[in-house]
Amino acid sequence: MLKLKLALAQEKQETKAMLVIYKKYTQGQATKEEMKIANEQFVDVLKGIGLGVFAVLPFAPITIPVIIKLGRLVGVEVMPSAFTTKRDNRRIIKEEDKQ
């Protein structure tokens, strides 16, 4: 549960940074690197929403692990990046320094 809490807190922080970057983009102040980071986080948000749909279905404790396993077999990561062990936290720190 602690790992889940930390991962969700990280996703929340990254999503806030994404929204700040998108706001800067609307004002014409975002760089291409910032937009790449924001777009990667947007993909993570979509992944979380997709798994959330399966969480409300019956037999979710069975179907979600099966979906994750099948996704990895075909080379698709269905979990948001905060839930994976290969994590590059430099982009989060970089965004905090800019604010």
Q: How many whole angstroms from its chain centre is CA 6?
A: 13
Q: Are 16 and 26 a contacting pair, CB within 8 Å? A: no
Distance CA 71, CA 84 (A): 14
Please give the single-letter amino acid code of residue 53.
Answer: V
Element (H, E) at 97: helix 90-98
The per-residue pLDDT string of the chain (99 residues; one tens digit each, 9 = 90 and over) reads: 677 788 888 889 999 999 999 999 999 999 999 999 999 999 999 998 888 888 888 888 888 899 999 999 999 888 888 887 654 444 444 444 454
Nearest 5°: the CA angle 46, 21, 47 is 10
pLDDT, tens digit, 9 for 90 and up, residues 72-88: 999 988 888 888 765 44
